[in-house]
Amino acid sequence: MENVEVNYLLGHSAQELERLSAQARHFEPFTRQVFQTAGVIPGMRVLDVGSGVGDVAFLAADLVGDEGSVVGSDRVPVAITTARARAVGMGLRNVTFCEGDPGEMAFDQPFDAVVGRFILMHAADATAMLRRLAGHLCHRGLIVFIEPAWSYVRSQPLAPLYERCCRWIVQTLRVAGVETDMGIKLYPTFVAAGLPAPSMQLCPRIAGPAASSDSLRLVADLVSSMQSEIMRSGLATAAEIDSQTLADRLRAEATTVGSVIVEPGLVGAWARV
């Protein structure tokens, strides 16, 4: 059987789920843009892969409207419980969540679209995963994934702590088998999975120090979530990370140096099957 295992290094602690929600708010505009450009429209039935606490599913639910529906999926019970509670609190009736691996699950009817964000990067075999997920689509169904490209990270003039934090993240994820440049590998992955060559969009956010505060906070929060793994890999000590002050130090550095901060790139890719 094809290997569609997904290994999520960061765990699902309350802190990590909160970080994911903050990350989702930051990336919501580009995600919405990609989904709309790809063709997610009212009335569609959508499968969201690796829903976490539900942010991508909620965005899809807004796009498909009351006449459409979204099924969110995740293998982690606490994430599903949180997503369901959030859906109730938001009064959403067109989105449901199910626990399990959608690559292995059976559904009562096919979907008009399968979507996911920051999912394939964690897959042991992203090609196999895409191929399996495409099997849930109806004829001419839409498959859309958004993945990062960490190689876009940079600062000018150099902000050493920012770039050092990004190296800690990338090197630790790579040791764990995570593809940190999955975004720019989406095209060959789609093709290798037997899907049509995808259309693509790229969004590398870039801003001066004052406008980069949220970006720097996200990096600091990610380092904090990964701290034990970063230290285990010998990349940094607890004192070097100092997660309680890291975001403030990143902002102070960028302001002092006057750096333009470039975030990891985001790549959206989609095709009709």
Pairing, β 137-149 against β 111-117? parallel
Instruction: Report the DSSP beta bridge partners of residue 96.
Output: 71
What pLDDT is recorded for position 14?
A: 66
Alpha-carbon radius of gyration of the chain: 19
User: Considering only CA atoms, which of 60, 54, 53 is closest in space to residue 32?
Assistant: 60
What pLDDT is recorded for position 10?
A: 55
Res. 248 pLDDT band, cuts 50 70 90: very high
Does the pLDDT value for residue 238 go beyond 90? yes
What pLDDT is recorded for position 19?
A: 77
Whole-angstrom distance, CA of residue 66 vs CA of residue 18: 28
Could you tell me which residue, 180 or 9, shows the higher pLDDT? 180
Does the pLDDT value for residue 227 go beyond 50? yes
Please name the residue ranges forming H helices in 156-237: 160-175, 186-192, 213-225, 227-232
Half-sphere exposure of residue 84: CA atoms within 13 angstroms, side-chain side: 12
144 contacts 269 by C-beta, under 8 angstroms: yes
Res. 11 pLDDT band, cuts 50 70 90: low
Average pLDDT of the chain, as a whole number: 93
Residues composing the chain: 273
Q: Which fold has domain 14-272?
A: Rossmann fold (3.40.50)
Could you tell me which residue, 18 or 100, shows the higher pLDDT? 100
Does the pLDDT value for residue 3 go beyond 50? no
Could you tell me which residue, 23 or 59, shows the higher pLDDT? 59
206-234 burial code (b ≥16 CB/10 A, e <16): ebebeebbebbbbbbbbbbbbbebbbeee
pLDDT in tens, 35-90: 999 999 999 999 999 998 999 999 999 999 999 999 999 998 988 999 999 999 99
Does the pLDDT value for residue 183 go beyond 90? yes
